[in-house]
């Protein structure tokens, strides 16, 4: 077992345990902190997969913006921060069965993609995924139109959020 | 080296945990967090396949998924705060005004 393998195992275990705690913790604030831990674990796995730019963006956008926004929302709805009643709804047995079936189905489907036989190819020298990604985003025969549409979507979401949450 | 399958199974597990969270929790904010978990699982699979095939399009998709997730969270949390202001509750079992 090489260093990379053990790093992968450590980060995978951290990610899964904190993800599990996100959906089972009673305290909302603790759930948000576990969510941040999960997002860090996923960012670390991006680094292992050579996606350095996405790892940084994961930390900045997901942890720096989305998770902090969640914490803001939790604090604005303070009274429900520590729910007193049961935290799961009545259908949890059916949901658990459904989840197990879904996991098995996902694994079976992913086995058919050929991923099981392939190990990750060795990286030859300095693979510059950042400039490749940047070129793909702005090149006219790649993703420039979705890129512009995404910026319009962000603007629309911003205005929509202000409109929805303003005082009437 | 680790086979790609490990990353895909990790992604499937993360997605299942997220889906379970959406199905069993009653608090709307936790459901939002579970949705984020599912989006992260999809992103993880995209990045793993990008690494496996050596083409960048998977990472471009992750970029767009993150954009949509940010927009979704901004609007969704605004909605939750607005609902909390009128109903003083964000328990989804109580939000059944539209039930016929």
How many whole angstroms separate alpha carbon B11 and alpha carbon A156? 30
Report pTM: 0.89
Which of A8-12, A157-161, B26-30 has the weakest average pLDDT? B26-30
The reply to whether residue B29 touches residue A23, judged by beta carbons under 8 angstroms, is: no
- Which has the higher per-residue pLDDT, B30 or A91? B30
Residue B82 in any domain: the answer is yes
Question: What number of C-beta contacts closer than 8 Å exist between A and B?
Answer: 240
Residue B25 in any domain: the answer is yes
- The pLDDT of residue A119 is above 80: no
Task: List b or e across B15-51, with b for residues whose CB sees 16 or more CB atoms inside 10 angstroms.
Answer: bbbbbbbbbbbbbbbbbbbbbbbbbbbbbbbbbbbbb
Instruction: Give me the residue spans of the domains in chain A.
Output: 1-87
CATH assignment at residue B15: 1.10.287.3510
ipTM comes to 0.91
Question: pLDDT tens across B8-20, in order?
Answer: 899 999 999 999 9
Query: What residues are paired with B3 via a beta bridge?
Result: A119
Q: What is the CA radius of gyration of chain B?
A: 17
User: What are the residues whose beta carbons fall under 8 Å from the beta carbon of B69, sequence distance 6 or more?
Assistant: A62, A66, B36, B39
Chain A CB within 8 Å of residue B54 CB = yes
- The pLDDT of residue A125 is above 60: no
The reply to whether residue B26 touches residue A87, judged by beta carbons under 8 angstroms, is: yes
- Which has the higher per-residue pLDDT, A32 or A86? A32
Mean pLDDT (whole number) for B33-40:
93
CA distance B38 to chain A (A): 10
**What pLDDT is attached to residue B68?**
93
- Which has the higher per-residue pLDDT, B92 or B23? B23
How many whole angstroms separate alpha carbon B37 and alpha carbon B10? 12
Question: pLDDT tens across A54-74, in order?
Answer: 999 999 999 998 889 889 888
Name the residue of chain B whose CA is nearest to A2's CA: B1
- The pLDDT of residue A43 is above 90: yes
**What pLDDT is attached to residue B13?**
92
- The pLDDT of residue B44 is above 90: yes
Residue B24 in any domain: the answer is yes
CATH number, domain A1-87, options 1.10.260.40, 1.20.120.1200, 3.40.350.10, 3.40.50.300: 1.20.120.1200
Number of domains comprising chain B: 1
- Tell which of A54, A131, A137, A166 to mutate to test the B interface (max B CBs under 10 Å): A54
Q: Structural domain of residue B42, as residue ranges?
A: 4-95
Residue B100 in any domain: the answer is no
Chain B CB within 8 Å of residue A54 CB = yes
């Amino acid at each position: 077992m090489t260093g990379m393998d053990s790093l992968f195992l450590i980060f995978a275990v951290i990610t899964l345990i904190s993800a599990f705690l996100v959906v089972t913790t009673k305290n909302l604030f603790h759930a948000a902190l576990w969510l941040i831990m999960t997002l860090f674990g996923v960012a670390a796995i991006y680094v292992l997969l050579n996606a350095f730019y996405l790892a940084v963006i994961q930390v900045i956008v997901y942890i720096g913006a989305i998770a902090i926004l969640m914490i803001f929302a939790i604090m604005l709805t303070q009274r429900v921060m520590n729910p007193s009643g049961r935290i799961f709804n009545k259908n949890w047995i059916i949901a658990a069965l459904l989840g197990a079936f879904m996991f098995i189905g996902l694994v079976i489907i992913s086995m058919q993609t050929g991923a099981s036989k392939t190990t990750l190819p060795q990286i030859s020298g300095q693979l510059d995924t950042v400039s490749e990604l940047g070129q793909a985003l702005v090149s006219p025969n790649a993703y420039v139109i979705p890129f512009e549409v995404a910026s319009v979507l962000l603007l629309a979401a911003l205005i929509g959020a202000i409109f929805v949450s303003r005082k009437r | 080296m680790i086979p790609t399958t490990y990353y895909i199974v990790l992604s499937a597990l993360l997605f299942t945990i997220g889906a379970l969270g959406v199905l069993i929790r009653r608090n709307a904010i936790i459901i939002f967090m579970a949705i984020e978990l599912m989006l992260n699982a999809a992103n993880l699979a995209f990045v793993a396949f990008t690494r496996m095939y050596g083409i960048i399009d998977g990472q471009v998709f992750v970029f767009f998924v993150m954009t949509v997730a940010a927009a979704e969270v901004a609007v969704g949390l605004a909605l939750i705060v607005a609902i909390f202001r009128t109903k003083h509750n964000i328990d989804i079992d109580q939000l059944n005004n539209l039930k016929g």
